[in-house]
């Protein structure tokens, strides 16, 4: 091969990578815009008004003094409930790349109308801010909650972590950080809080970000399109060189930590793990259930027949309502007096 031909092939490969990156960015922008628009329109429905559900909302509170929108949270609180209330720390999904607390107002409202103070958190997104930026943000948000929960009438001794999809990954890792001693400064700060949740609720989680090709190996029928989407998530969040992370990769792959059997410094809390049987991420939930069972950690897994990813957000559907009822029942057993 002549040097000129080699240079031409290298240029073509660079152009292809640039075109692929542009396509991913445009797709990310379009999907993010669609969901933010849908969330804003959803708020216009009369049934979405928080006052109809006896809920008050404190919006856009900065949990870090950066001024960034990604470093804000909303607090949802039942208006008529007296005394300190149990609380839910909620982290949104979106493949680590899109969405925010504002697209997930429904989750805050749903938990608050059931009697819980909800801290609904945004965080920095990949690929602009790859791992572990989002997780470090969530850790800082928990630190803020530890300092400010009493102001909103929330009980730290009755706290649950919850999140869906990528948010499920983040709250599972956050739960591990409360129970395992780790060297990372943000993880060490979480452990030093001494604040172990009463429950962790990872809905339809991507609980191992690395090796996204595992889904296609196990179920080739998932197809090339889905495989591309999962690889896109892995690449945006972790990049190509996983070896550079060393043991830090554990916090992107909390499922692997739990399967490995490392002993925690503090007992792990109970888990509630709901997922639809047609969710391509179903196997991660099954693996999580098996890993926790081997450890003797209480884990209530719920499988909703025929349901797809994040189906519980479609609250008008029967299976979604059943999932929420199961969630509330779990919380009552573990958070309520």
Contact indicator for 191, 181 with CB cutoff of 8 Å: yes
- pLDDT per residue as tens digits for the range 177-236: 999 999 999 999 999 999 999 999 999 999 999 999 888 777 666 655 466 788 899 999
Residues 12 and 109 in one domain: no
**Does residue 307 lie in a domain region?**
yes
Residues 181 and 315 in one domain: yes
Residues 176 and 283 in one domain: yes
Start-to-end CA span in the chain (Å):
75
Residues 61 and 38 in one domain: no
Predicted pLDDT of residue 81:
79
Residues 314 and 206 in one domain: yes
Domain that holds residue 324: 53-334
**Does residue 159 lie in a domain region?**
yes
Residues 73 and 212 in one domain: yes
Residues 117 and 4 in one domain: no
Residues 100 and 225 in one domain: yes
Residues 147 and 23 in one domain: no
> pLDDT under 70 in the chain at which residues?
1-42, 44, 46, 219-227, 337
Q: What residues contact residue 6 under an 8 Å CB cut-off, 6+ apart? A: none
Buried b / exposed e over 178-209, threshold 16 CB at 10 Å, is: bbbebebebbebbbebebbbbbbbbbbbbbbb
Tell the residue number behind the tokens 């109970």, with chain if given.
Answer: 270
- pLDDT per residue as tens digits for the range 235-255: 999 999 999 999 999 999 999
Predicted pLDDT of residue 183:
97
Please report, for the domain that includes residue 172, its CATH number: 3.40.50.1820
What total of structural domains would you count in the chain? 2
Predicted pLDDT of residue 22:
46
SS (H, E, C) 163-213: EECHHHHHHHHHHHHHHCCCCCHHHHHHHHHCCCCCEEEEECCCCCCCCCC
Residues 108 and 38 in one domain: no
Residues 240 and 140 in one domain: yes
**Does residue 48 lie in a domain region?**
no
**Does residue 29 lie in a domain region?**
yes
**Does residue 184 lie in a domain region?**
yes
- Nearest residue to 77 via CA among 45, 112, 34: 112
Residues 183 and 326 in one domain: yes
Query: What 3-state DSSP class applies to 80?
Result: coil
**Does residue 27 lie in a domain region?**
yes
């Amino acid at each position: 091969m002549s040097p000129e031909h080699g240079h031409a092939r290298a240029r073509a490969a660079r152009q292809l990578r640039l075109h692929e990156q542009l396509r991913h960015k445009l797709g990310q922008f379009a999907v993010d815009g669609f969901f933010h628009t849908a969330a804003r329109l959803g708020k216009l429905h009369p049934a979405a008004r928080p006052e109809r559900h006896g809920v008050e909302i404190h919006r856009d509170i900065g949990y870090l003094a950066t001024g960034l929108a990604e470093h804000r949270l909303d607090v949802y609180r039942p208006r008529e409930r007296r005394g300190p209330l149990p609380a839910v720390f909620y982290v949104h999904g979106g493949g680590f790349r899109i969405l925010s607390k504002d697209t997930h107002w429904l989750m805050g409202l749903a938990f608050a109308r059931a009697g819980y103070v909800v801290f609904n958190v945004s965080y920095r997104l990949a690929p602009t801010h790859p791992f572990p930026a989002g997780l470090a943000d969530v850790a800082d948000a928990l630190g803020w909650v530890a300092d400010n929960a009493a102001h909103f009438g929330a009980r730290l001794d009755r706290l649950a972590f919850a999140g869906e999809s990528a948010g499920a990954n983040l709250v599972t890792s956050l739960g591990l950080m409360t129970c395992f001693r780790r060297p990372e400064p943000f993880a060490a700060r979480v452990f030093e809080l001494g604040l172990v949740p009463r429950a962790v609720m990872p809905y339809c989680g991507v609980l191992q970000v690395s090796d996204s090709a595992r889904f296609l190996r196990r179920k080739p029928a998932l197809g090339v399109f889905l495989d591309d989407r999962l690889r896109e998530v892995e690449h945006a969040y972790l990049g190509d060189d996983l070896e550079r992370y060393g043991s830090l990769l554990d916090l992107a792959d909390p499922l692997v930590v739990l399967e490995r059997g490392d002993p925690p410094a503090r007992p792990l809390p109970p888990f509630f793990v709901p997922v639809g049987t047609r969710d391509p991420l179903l196997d991660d939930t099954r693996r999580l259930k098996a890993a926790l069972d081997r450890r003797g950690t209480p884990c209530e897994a719920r499988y909703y027949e025929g349901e797809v990813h994040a189906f519980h957000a479609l609250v008008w559907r029967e299976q979604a309502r059943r999932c929420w009822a199961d969630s509330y029942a779990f919380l009552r057993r573990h958070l309520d007096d």
